[in-house]
């Protein structure tokens, strides 16, 4: 397989023994994104980037990862200016008129207001998610690029352990955008097959894990049941629990 710089992360992920190579790519990107945000020589010291992270803030998951990273002062500085900005915006909106009681016929309706609109919008934004997504999209494109061009990659894809349910959806819905007539049908059939086969495999491992917790099965071998639960978390929730 010819290796080009931008295909390496995809080929690396597909050659790993894991329950979803796309989760694997995402996790690597996430590590880089956290490092870029708060690691040595981090971006939060640069004014234009800071402007953007102040505006967008961070989602729950990434706040937690940023907090776990060993740079409490950096995170404190980012959150302080993000809060400054939030205060400024919300104080501006608090000067607009307050909502009135719902009318008889619109009892169920939730009224919009600049305050709640602002909060709802900022709940959707995350500077780290945004940073990851820029590259993630090109990674998904590269999967299709390799699929059309490399026989070896098609074999690797077909013999993978499938995907988590969310990345199954993404690959399924994006395939018609990127694959030509020659490969689309094969890709989708293979995708459906490897997803379902492997989703069932993990479901069966989980079943065995449950049995093994029953005293009547105490003497039976563990088979693949021992780590069934963390692998099921990957399949169902794109949660990574493995070792490096």
**Chain residues in the site for Zn ion (CB under 5 A):** 20, 22-23, 59, 62, 126, 128-129, 164, 167, 238
Which residue lies nearer to Zn ion by CB, 107 or 175? 175
Which residue lies nearer to Zn ion by CB, 93 or 133? 133
* Eight-state DSSP code of residue 214: S
DSSP per position, 184-195: HHHHHHHHHHHH
Instruction: Please report how close the Cβ of residue 109 comes to Zn ion at its closest, in angstroms.
Output: 30
Instruction: Please report how close the Cβ of residue 129 comes to Zn ion at its closest, in angstroms.
Output: 3
Which residue lies nearer to Zn ion by CB, 114 or 130? 130
Which residue lies nearer to Zn ion by CB, 42 or 149? 42
**Structural tokens at position 241:** 């629990």
**Structural tokens at position 77:** 């500085």
Query: In this structure, are residues 103 and 95 in contact, taking their beta carbons and an 8 Å threshold?
Result: no
Which residue lies nearer to Zn ion by CB, 141 or 212? 141
Query: In this structure, are residues 153 and 2 in contact, taking their beta carbons and an 8 Å threshold?
Result: no
Instruction: Please report how close the Cβ of residue 132 comes to Zn ion at its closest, in angstroms.
Output: 8
Instruction: Please report how close the Cβ of residue 139 comes to Zn ion at its closest, in angstroms.
Output: 12
Q: How far apart are the first and last CA of the chain?
A: 25
Query: In this structure, are residues 78 and 44 in contact, taking their beta carbons and an 8 Å threshold?
Result: yes
Instruction: Please report how close the Cβ of residue 92 comes to Zn ion at its closest, in angstroms.
Output: 26
Query: In this structure, are residues 85 and 55 in contact, taking their beta carbons and an 8 Å threshold?
Result: yes
């Amino acid at each position: 397989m010819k290796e080009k710089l931008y295909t390496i992360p995809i080929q690396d992920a597909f050659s790993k023994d894991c329950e979803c190579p796309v989760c694997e790519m995402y996790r690597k990107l996430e590590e880089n994104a956290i490092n870029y945000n708060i690691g040595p020589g981090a971006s939060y010291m640069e004014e234009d980037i800071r402007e953007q992270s102040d505006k967008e803030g961070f989602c729950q998951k990434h706040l937690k990862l940023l907090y776990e990273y060993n740079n409490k002062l950096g995170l404190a500085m980012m959150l302080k200016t993000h809060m400054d900005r939030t205060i400024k915006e919300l104080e501006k909106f608090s000067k607009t008129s307050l909502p009135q009681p719902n009318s008889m016929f619109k009892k169920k309706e939730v009224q919009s207001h600049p305050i709640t609109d602002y909060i709802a919008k900022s709940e959707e934004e995350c500077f780290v998610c945004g940073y990851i997504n820029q590259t993630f999209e090109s990674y998904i494109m590269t999967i299709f690029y390799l699929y059309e061009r490399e026989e070896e990659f098609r074999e690797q894809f077909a013999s993978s352990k499938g995907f988590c349910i969310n990345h199954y959806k993404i690959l399924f819905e994006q395939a018609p955008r990127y694959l030509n007539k020659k490969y689309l049908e094969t890709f989708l059939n293979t995708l459906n097959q490897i997803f379902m086969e492997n989703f069932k495999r993990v479901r069966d491992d989980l079943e065995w894990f449950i049995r093994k917790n029953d005293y009547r099965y105490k003497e039976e071998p563990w088979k693949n049941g021992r780590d069934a639960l963390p692998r099921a978390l990957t399949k169902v929730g794109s949660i990574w629990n493995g070792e490096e």
